[in-house]
Structure 1
Amino acid sequence: MHQPASFLSSISRGDPPTPPSSPPEKYLRWSFNQIAHASHTLAASLAASGIKPGMRIISFVNNGVEWHIMLRAALELNCLFAPLNPRVAFNEKEARHMMAMIGPSVLLVQDSNTAEHIQLHAPEAFGQASVKLFSTGGEDKADIPASWQDFAAFAENGIAGERVLKSLEVIRKPDDVTFIFTTSGTTNLPKGCPYTNSMCAGMISAYIQHSDLTRDPDRVSLCHMATSHIMGGVGYSMGFHCAGLKVVHPAATFDPGSSLKAINLERASDMPCVPALVYAMLAHPDFDQVNTDCIKHAHLGATTILPEVIKMSMEQLKADRASEAYGMTETGPALAHRYYDLSVKVPEIVTSGTILPGAKVRVCDPETNKPVPRGAAGECHIGGSFIIKEYWVGPTQRSRDAFYTDEHGLWIRTGDQAVMHDNGECQIVGRYKDMIIRGGENISPSAIESIILSKFDLVTEVVGVPDEIAGEIPIAVMSKKKGQEVDVSKVRQTLIKELGAAWVPEEIIDIKTLGIDDFPRTATGKVIKTKLQKMVIENRESQVNVYAGTDLLDTLTRVWTKLLGVSPGTLTPQTSIHDWADSLIQARFSAVLMRETGLLIQLQNLIDHPSIEGQAKLLSARGGSGAQSISDMKPDRDGPPGIHDMVHTSGDEARYKKTQDLAIETLKPLGLGWEDVEDVIPMNAIQETFVKYRRPQTSNHRHAFLCNGSSVDHLEKALKATLAHHSMLRTMAMYFDSHTSMHITIRPSEQWFSKCIRHLPAVKKAEDLAEVVYGDVELDNAHFPGPMMRFIIVYVEETKCAGLVYMVQHSIFDAVSLQLFLDDFDAMLTNPTTKLKPHVPYKAWADSYYNLQYSPIAKASVNWQANRLRGIYKNPEALFPIQRAPEWFKGSSEGWIDIKTGKPGPPRKALTKNGLGVKGITGQGTLKDIQALKIKHNIEGSQIVKAALAVVTTRHTKQPYALFGQSQAGRTWPFMLPWQANRMPPAMDVDGPAVQGTINKLPIHKSETVLDMLARLQAEQYELNRHAYAPMNQIVAVLNGHQTDIEVRNFDGKVKGAAWIESEGGEGDFVRDAFKRQVFNWLPVPPVFEYKRIQKVQVESRTDLCCLWNCIMLDQTTLMINPTWDDAQLYLEEVEGLLDELLRLSEKFAAEENWGKRVEEFV
């Protein structure tokens, strides 16, 4: 409708009349005969210019007649046709990439700006195109750029080319590639989706059949979607045309006024839409003057469709029916509703309909690709006749990474979360990548968006941003209508009522604060959430520090306002934060307040002082902000530590001299000396267990990351700057005596970095990082005496950026402190001028632990643990799994040393092939009533799985109790009275390892109910938390009959700690052995590896254990268990069996209907 009626009239055989109700001006309106004649004439002209079957054609045109006749000409010649969005021409990387990948012989553009940019950005491919066509669109004043031919004049020459066209031998094969549509790629470059003759024919036929297009000759396509997109080009253009129906293009690109005009003049009946198009048409000033009762079907898609959008389409736009459809560029339309089966009522649940003929759809476990039961959520996988077989990613490069094949054929993983209902309809519930995981709970952005839209008529997009405590937090970006007023506090209150506090966005911001008027969108109008998320993160980082207020009450109010995302003035001094913030937000407040302002307030303080006014009075009573508390913990000292800087010397000159001599001897092989020492820090008993040398990979982790956009030099500079900020990662180890092990932190210097950073030759792909020096007995480890963290930097050819692999010894980190390092490293990669924020120095925490480890509080903890475990050595049958090989090693045992003799140990034979044990397997289950257990009985979900592990263990041992280890996060200040700990900075920010381990001894009382057992375990867990820091070496000593650690005679720390207490064989040593058999590790939140510049490739834990049960809550009810194990002790089949037992029993214990049953029913 935007093109003049006279355009290309010389090749269209006539000038058809405009409709009776048309305005004074005429517009292009062709019959099927006319378009067929025009396209045939164009094909003849192309043939006369040397274009032959198999050659390739690219169009950079918007909606218009040029697209239609070029498509048909390409089909007649059996040439490949690639309709590209004209915007591609203006992106240098994308234009060069697409032109080189397709290698066109023919180019078609419609404006001089596009023509200029193609020639500028892709000169080589441009020069190889023999036919370059420029369409004026019928505008008389348009100038034809040099090197280009006028499209209309060129097409008219087809009459002379008829003889050449007839002479061509056009042989069509079903597998000839006919179309290339494009989709976004992970490298930010488009990927080509190749469609063959048979795929296109089948897809169009299925679309016509499923949409009932042949049933009503009055159906009219309102195609305001881009024809460069598969639904605009295939569905709403070719699909309607092949059914003999009319297609209307209101404008070159979507314009709401033009679309309304098309409805008015051409009585369009079927319109493809994303929600934004519906909103735009309803908001247009001409809407009230347009009769829309001709609209039969509003076909919605490209994003999660909310019931409110369906309602709006039917009640305000007056569409007879509205529905959601689903498909991808890679699959074509896969799910849709049959038009005549649709209800004229607004559905309560929006589904995408049923499967189109020829397509296959199933909902699978994203980890295993196995279908989940109907009604359960999983990942939507699509197969069938119409999905592409591969991506085009270069001139000859093809990618099949997103596809897999099984006994049912080829499938593609969509990344969308879906539910298949019993009636065969499929519901898309969100994107896995869009899901926000806040404190272990899955938060669906669409659920929040739906409530806000339905209750406030407000369009929002919700994205997740990283958070140091919660993992991720939701942020809502609102797009208000002109003159619309929004009370953010009412929005928040409504969300709390409808969804709960955890689902309330931390901020609700106006889109204009991001400097834009509309959300970033694809060509089809779909919101690009990754771009929006990036804009939100950058906006948050650029904001003026909210903590700038000098008044204490004002400062606290500002912090809470920011953290809660409420409007200024919402919170008063008397506001109780308990009414607004859950425990997770309160934990975040404590850490954020300390890090950003230096103000110190503990969680218990927030419980005791719920009002902001009360918190301000508490801080004021302490005599100031305490902003210097962290810096005071780490004195500014230029040289090495003095006698009073090392807590273990106790001011003794002889101990100081011995420390100095041992450190010099340890550092000499590295070319370092005493002047290079920054600090000497005592280890606690768990660190000592980690550091004790048994093999090169003793208690190691190996991680690999791709550093997108970073050169090798840039990565190295960022790494060195980050390491300078994290002293525990610049570490050597030594033994002062048989029960005092030490970390030596080294001052950052080029000499030190040369010993812990290595450059190796380039690798081809990102996944190759996982194999760099893998298994190398010299390089694939970090062990005593150090360096305790070693780095390898390589260049990755395919991604044109650097990659980082590091091996780190567990004695210098835990999950929390490593996250601090990765956050800072990513920040330095992103911006080398970043000033990293200080963390709580680890030395302060470790020195405090050392000083208090023999205090009355510590001794009480030791006695509690020892009394609980006393006598277990009399029952070795309780140990599980059984030991089949010497020692306990996950990962490689090459080069292992017998800890009792100090000599090499005999070879260990793997029972599981390919080193699978250290990588592990996974399984999932549903803990359906886990929240009810917490709310009704105050029992944490971890006790469900721990109880299940205890029962499963006793099934195999036939003993009355289960023994297994348990990781304890710690993250408190140990052996202090509450009033003392409350005055310390948040332990969450301690920059080093605070993790601890303990032993569970869990009796199984068969007559006990499940609920009673869970309550008993919860009560004991509180005590385990209280006594988590009881030093393991003291527990062992007490159980062995000693008051404290015994000194080992002739102890030689240089033999890597090869001989002490463990050789005694007493009751305490039995405890050490029991801890290594199996360890329960509970993670309420999945590990987050979402960064701006670094991308996880590999994470591998090589602890000296038999079996580690990592139990992770993926969302509110979904449990994932990831066991890793010692290949020499367990067969894969055994672990699979145990995993299945553990998952199934956990599910039963989590079901409320089983809580009253006796345990004996499950043993």
Structure 2
Amino acid sequence: MHPPEAISDHHQHLALVHGATDHPLWSKTLGQVVDEQAERLGEKTVAVLPWQNVRISFQQLAARARRFAAGLLRAGLQRGDNIAIMAGNRVEYLEVVIGGALIGCPVLVVNNTYKPWELRNALHKTSCRMLFLASTIGSRSMVEHFQILTSPPDMHRVVMLGDGDCSAIPQVQSYATFIANSKSLLADGVLQQAMEAVEPSEVLSLQFTSGTTGEPKASMLTHIISNLLNNARFLGQRMELTTNDIVCCPPPLFHCFGLVMAFFSTLIHGGTIVFPSDHFNPDLVLDAITQEKCTTLLGVPTMFIAEMEANRSRGYRLTTLHKGMIAGSPVSLPLMADIQKHMGIDGMVIAYGMTETSTITFSTSLTDSPENRAKTVGRVMPQVTAKIVNPRGETVRRGEIGELCISGYALQKGYWSNELKTKEVMRVHDDGVLWMHTGDECLIDEDGYCHAMGRIKDIIIRGGENIFPAEIEERLLLNPGLGEASVVGVNDSKYGEVVGCFLKGVDGYTMADNEIKDWVRSTMGTAKTPQHVFWIGADGVCADFPKTGSGKHQKHLLREMADELLGHRRLCKDTVARSES
């Protein structure tokens, strides 16, 4: 099924688009969806976690979620009490998210790269009463995280996931003990009564913004009309997901990509989802694809690049993949061609959104041309309205650049306990409609496709001229020798800012700086030509791009790094340490 075309505004010249409305919004809770799928699909496998040696069916998932919800009630939690989880992609994660939703306990999904003090601050900021914390994430021990939480004033207890020994840590119990305590509530109707009290408009998930440009804020996302299930449902339609699809999901569950775009979409459309490892490991992704015969692969561009690099030595013939989805950053034509050639993925959906709009508001379709996938983020999603505005708040014309604003069911309820920040980005315009100001510089073309130019804060102002990093990154990535590129503004005494670029070559390949400059200048002119070129892994430059836990380049750290390098002070090691948080 191909997605319906977006309905254009009657003022064709305005950069204002309305998503299709032929699929009415659902008014369901996550618990209702899980129960419906369990009844419909029964023992069909819903999730595979090879690294845990776990396969669970739709029926088993529903039962395990109920068991978890009963454990929360047994522990004294009630509807509206926040809980949290910090872990890799593991089966307990699914139980915590669904189980919390069953009785109206919002779940804070914590970035699994957080340092101990960041975890503690996140829990206190959101008034969480219980934390489910993995004993390890990848090869990293979480002992220090447990130690800093031994006497949390705002939580009843900490529960350990995994095989760690919690006996020596005060106020920590094992997940097995927590679950064992829930059995008595499953038979006496207490759980059912608590489930029936949950409203679809209640907060389902608390998700911190990724923090690529500043301090993260906790976004409140709900079961329905505002937000997650409908978004996952519509995205699955764009992906043309069916019960026959086996979706491989390397992105983390703490991010909207893993939780909403991957897990919820697969659950709603009756497919099977595979989580190859608790944290991203390209070799285990390749193993999972071949062993489980995955049809669909999801990830950010850096994940696809790493998987193809790993397969050069592994030599797998990836014959079962035929579609995929990329989000998080632009995708170049050469990368698209490599994915098709080396991974067999013919249909690729490019998705755009943000946590606050839960999560995707624009996407391409499987049948869009390679050019539209590389140069745009597609057309507006169903039941969503979008427009481009100038600094005065006026809607601009098609083809003009401005700030993207979103309205409709997908908007968050707001930032948790942060009314000031909420009002800064969520504003009622003269039309009486509440709009989310995304902070992204975009344009909408005559065909309704959205072109994302980058974050407004990332715009480079060179001598009064606005320069959009995405344009230069697109040009750089057309060079076959370059695998990754990130363009930032670098302080300059003459122009205020000039263009700097951080580059990573394919298989360690590098070029002379002048070659890079000539490559850009030949099509884009002098102002957009990088004045400073930094090679990832070179002397004084970090071994890899500083990234968020979901794989996005952290440009504010790259800007700091460039200024430090040009000032002959090398704080690269410290910058990387901060980027891991």
SS in 2 for 1:63: coil
SS in 2 for 1:87: coil
**Is the counterpart of residue 399 in structure 1 residue 399 in structure 2?**
no
Match of 1:497 among 508, 511, 522: 522
Structure 1 residue 110: Cα displacement: 0.6
Task: Check conservation: 1:351, 1:426, Cα contact below 8 A.
Answer: yes
- Could you say if the C-alpha distance between residues 184 and 223 of structure 1 is closer, same or farther in structure 2, counting changes exceeding 3 Å? closer
* Alpha-carbon distance between aligned partners in 2 of 1:267 and 1:534, rounded to the nearest angstrom: 43
Could you tell me which amino acid in structure 1 is paired with residue 524 of structure 2?
L
Alignment of 1:491-890 (within 5 A): 491-512=516-537, 513-542=539-568
Structure 1 residue 185: Cα displacement: 6.0
Structure 1 residue 217: Cα displacement: 2.6
* Alpha-carbon distance between aligned partners in 2 of 1:521 and 1:186, rounded to the nearest angstrom: 8
Structure 1 residue aligned with 2:365: 338
Q: Deviations over 1:995-1025 (max 9, x none)?
A: xxxxxxxxxxxxxxxxxxxxxxxxxxxxxxx
Could you tell me which amino acid in structure 2 is paired with residue 501 of structure 1?
T
Task: Check conservation: 2:208, 2:217, Cα contact below 8 A.
Answer: yes
Alignment of 1:1137-1148 (within 5 A): none
* Alpha-carbon distance between aligned partners in 2 of 1:50 and 1:311, rounded to the nearest angstrom: 54
Task: Check conservation: 2:210, 2:548, Cα contact below 8 A.
Answer: no
Match of 2:94 among 38, 63, 68: 68
Structure 2 residue aligned with 1:262: 288
- Could you say if the C-alpha distance between residues 258 and 144 of structure 1 is closer, same or farther in structure 2, counting changes exceeding 3 Å? farther
Match of 2:81 among 55, 80, 86: 55
* Alpha-carbon distance between aligned partners in 2 of 1:168 and 1:274, rounded to the nearest angstrom: 38
* Alpha-carbon distance between aligned partners in 2 of 1:329 and 1:43, rounded to the nearest angstrom: 26
SS in 2 for 1:357: coil
Give the structure-2-normalised TM-score: 0.82
Structure 1 residue 531: Cα displacement: 0.8
**Is the counterpart of residue 377 in structure 1 residue 401 in structure 2?**
yes
**Is the counterpart of residue 110 in structure 1 residue 134 in structure 2?**
yes
Structure with greater proportional strand content: 2
- Could you say if the C-alpha distance between residues 451 and 337 of structure 1 is closer, same or farther in structure 2, counting changes exceeding 3 Å? closer
Task: Check conservation: 1:43, 1:73, Cα contact below 8 A.
Answer: yes
Task: Check conservation: 1:45, 1:160, Cα contact below 8 A.
Answer: no
Q: Deviations over 1:535-594 (max 9, x none)?
A: 1111111259xxxxxxxxxxxxxxxxxxxxxxxxxxxxxxxxxxxxxxxxxxxxxxxxxx
* Alpha-carbon distance between aligned partners in 2 of 1:277 and 1:260, rounded to the nearest angstrom: 11
* Unpaired stretches in structure 1, ≥5 consecutive residues: 1-11, 545-1163
Could you tell me which amino acid in structure 1 is paired with residue 362 of structure 2?
L
SS in 2 for 1:238: helix
* Alpha-carbon distance between aligned partners in 1 of 2:569 and 2:172, rounded to the nearest angstrom: 49
Structure 1 residue 98: Cα displacement: 1.6
Structure 1 residue 290: Cα displacement: 1.8
Q: Deviations over 1:677-700 (max 9, x none)?
A: xxxxxxxxxxxxxxxxxxxxxxxx
Alignment of 1:1084-1099 (within 5 A): none
Structure 2 residue aligned with 1:926: none
**Is the counterpart of residue 433 in structure 1 residue 457 in structure 2?**
yes
* Alpha-carbon distance between aligned partners in 1 of 2:164 and 2:532, rounded to the nearest angstrom: 52
- Could you say if the C-alpha distance between residues 483 and 181 of structure 1 is closer, same or farther in structure 2, counting changes exceeding 3 Å? closer
* Alpha-carbon distance between aligned partners in 1 of 2:477 and 2:422, rounded to the nearest angstrom: 40
Alignment of 1:159-198 (within 5 A): 159-162=183-186, 163=188, 164-166=190-192, 168=194, 170-184=196-210, 188-198=214-224
**Is the counterpart of residue 328 in structure 1 residue 351 in structure 2?**
no
Structure 1 residue 398: Cα displacement: 6.4
**Is the counterpart of residue 455 in structure 1 residue 479 in structure 2?**
yes
Match of 1:475 among 481, 497, 500: 500
* Alpha-carbon distance between aligned partners in 1 of 2:455 and 2:112, rounded to the nearest angstrom: 28
- Could you say if the C-alpha distance between residues 452 and 337 of structure 1 is closer, same or farther in structure 2, counting changes exceeding 3 Å? closer
Task: Check conservation: 1:326, 1:352, Cα contact below 8 A.
Answer: yes
Structure 2 residue aligned with 1:417: 441
Task: Check conservation: 1:144, 1:150, Cα contact below 8 A.
Answer: no
Task: Check conservation: 2:135, 2:164, Cα contact below 8 A.
Answer: no
- Could you say if the C-alpha distance between residues 188 and 431 of structure 1 is closer, same or farther in structure 2, counting changes exceeding 3 Å? closer
Task: Check conservation: 1:98, 1:190, Cα contact below 8 A.
Answer: no
SS in 2 for 1:316: helix
Alignment of 1:968-1007 (within 5 A): none
* Alpha-carbon distance between aligned partners in 2 of 1:190 and 1:348, rounded to the nearest angstrom: 29
* Alpha-carbon distance between aligned partners in 2 of 1:427 and 1:391, rounded to the nearest angstrom: 27
* Alpha-carbon distance between aligned partners in 2 of 1:346 and 1:375, rounded to the nearest angstrom: 17
- Could you say if the C-alpha distance between residues 397 and 175 of structure 1 is closer, same or farther in structure 2, counting changes exceeding 3 Å? farther
Could you tell me which amino acid in structure 2 is paired with residue 322 of structure 1?
M
Could you tell me which amino acid in structure 2 is paired with residue 360 of structure 1?
T
Structure 1 residue 481: Cα displacement: 4.1
Structure 1 residue aligned with 2:9: none
Structure 1 residue 457: Cα displacement: 2.0
* Alpha-carbon distance between aligned partners in 2 of 1:348 and 1:156, rounded to the nearest angstrom: 49
Structure 1 residue aligned with 2:469: 445
**Is the counterpart of residue 227 in structure 1 residue 253 in structure 2?**
yes
- Could you say if the C-alpha distance between residues 143 and 533 of structure 1 is closer, same or farther in structure 2, counting changes exceeding 3 Å? farther
**Is the counterpart of residue 350 in structure 1 residue 369 in structure 2?**
no
Task: Check conservation: 2:45, 2:57, Cα contact below 8 A.
Answer: no
- Could you say if the C-alpha distance between residues 310 and 531 of structure 1 is closer, same or farther in structure 2, counting changes exceeding 3 Å? same
* Unpaired stretches in structure 2, ≥5 consecutive residues: 1-37, 571-581
Structure 2 residue aligned with 1:783: none
- Could you say if the C-alpha distance between residues 119 and 56 of structure 1 is closer, same or farther in structure 2, counting changes exceeding 3 Å? farther
- Could you say if the C-alpha distance between residues 422 and 106 of structure 1 is closer, same or farther in structure 2, counting changes exceeding 3 Å? same
Match of 1:205 among 233, 236, 256: 233
Task: Check conservation: 2:372, 2:378, Cα contact below 8 A.
Answer: no
SS in 2 for 1:380: strand
* Alpha-carbon distance between aligned partners in 1 of 2:372 and 2:214, rounded to the nearest angstrom: 37
* Alpha-carbon distance between aligned partners in 1 of 2:130 and 2:550, rounded to the nearest angstrom: 25
Structure 1 residue 278: Cα displacement: 1.5
Structure 1 residue 258: Cα displacement: 1.1
Task: Check conservation: 1:260, 1:286, Cα contact below 8 A.
Answer: no
Could you tell me which amino acid in structure 2 is paired with residue 487 of structure 1?
A
Structure 1 residue 222: Cα displacement: 1.4
Structure 1 residue 187: Cα displacement: 9.4
SS in 2 for 1:160: helix
SS in 1 for 2:478: helix
**Is the counterpart of residue 242 in structure 1 residue 242 in structure 2?**
no
* Alpha-carbon distance between aligned partners in 1 of 2:213 and 2:323, rounded to the nearest angstrom: 37
Structure 1 residue 118: Cα displacement: 5.4
Structure 1 residue 17: Cα displacement: 12
Match of 2:108 among 82, 95, 102: 82
Q: Deviations over 1:1058-1087 (max 9, x none)?
A: xxxxxxxxxxxxxxxxxxxxxxxxxxxxxx
Q: Deviations over 1:48-105 (max 9, x none)?
A: 2222222111001111101101111111111111111122243x2x334321222122
Structure 1 residue aligned with 2:317: 291
Structure 2 residue aligned with 1:28: 54
* Alpha-carbon distance between aligned partners in 2 of 1:360 and 1:516, rounded to the nearest angstrom: 41
Structure 2 residue aligned with 1:1159: none
Give the structure-1-normalised TM-score: 0.42
* Alpha-carbon distance between aligned partners in 2 of 1:103 and 1:322, rounded to the nearest angstrom: 40
Q: Alignment identity in percent?
A: 25
Task: Check conservation: 1:292, 1:317, Cα contact below 8 A.
Answer: yes
Structure 1 residue 109: Cα displacement: 0.4
Q: Deviations over 1:722-776 (max 9, x none)?
A: xxxxxxxxxxxxxxxxxxxxxxxxxxxxxxxxxxxxxxxxxxxxxxxxxxxxxxx
Could you tell me which amino acid in structure 2 is paired with residue 425 of structure 1?
Y
Structure 1 residue aligned with 2:180: 156
Structure 1 residue 152: Cα displacement: 2.0
* Alpha-carbon distance between aligned partners in 2 of 1:543 and 1:51, rounded to the nearest angstrom: 51
- Could you say if the C-alpha distance between residues 351 and 206 of structure 1 is closer, same or farther in structure 2, counting changes exceeding 3 Å? same
Task: Check conservation: 1:292, 1:319, Cα contact below 8 A.
Answer: no
* Alpha-carbon distance between aligned partners in 2 of 1:54 and 1:348, rounded to the nearest angstrom: 41
**Structure with the greater relative contact order (CA < 8 A, sep ≥ 6): 1 or 2?**
2
